[in-house]
Amino acid sequence: MLAFDVLPSLVSSTEDERLRAAFEEHLGETRAQSERAEGVFRALGLDPSSNRSAPLEALAKSHDELAGKVVLPALRDAFHAAAAVATERWELTLYEAAIDLANAMRLDGEAVGLLEQSRAEEHHALLVAEAERRRLLDSV
Ligand SMILES: [Fe+2]
């Protein structure tokens, strides 16, 4: 899963303690989300599989190409936070589609609840990343 490559890299390249802690927290949430997604696959009678997301890979590639060019540490950390905002928005879009699909397929409430729990975590991560981006830009 791409997030398991990107988030540790962000943790190690972020200088701001609060933002780094937020990325570490979301890495743990992402591990739980992966397990929940596997549970939903099994509820459908399917074997869980991992597929790369072209939009998320493009976001990560764009971030990686530009982040090293940002010289000021606080500005570079704000750039990391901005990349996280874009990623969380895309992930929210995917969870919303998955929840709509699960409801349309009349999956049991437990499977839908697992997806809703992950969506709530993504929404929280989005709000945190937006707040961190603003705080870091205010400090520049
Ligand atoms: Fe996320």
pLDDT in tens, 23-47: 999 999 999 999 999 988 888 888 8
Could you tell me the distance, in angstroms and rounded to a whole number, from the CA of residue 1 to the centre of ligand 1? Answer: 12
Query: What homologous superfamily does CATH list for 3-138?
Result: Ferritin, core subunit, four-helix bundle (1.20.1260.10)
Could you tell me the distance, in angstroms and rounded to a whole number, from the CA of residue 91 to the centre of ligand 1? Answer: 6
Could you tell me the distance, in angstroms and rounded to a whole number, from the CA of residue 109 to the centre of ligand 1? Answer: 23
Could you tell me the distance, in angstroms and rounded to a whole number, from the CA of residue 124 to the centre of ligand 1? Answer: 9
Q: Is pLDDT of 48 > 90?
A: no
CA distance 3 to 129: 15
pLDDT for the residue numbered 23: 96
Could you tell me the distance, in angstroms and rounded to a whole number, from the CA of residue 50 to the centre of ligand 1? Answer: 16
Tell me, rounded to whole angstroms, the distance of Cα 113 from its chain centroid: 19
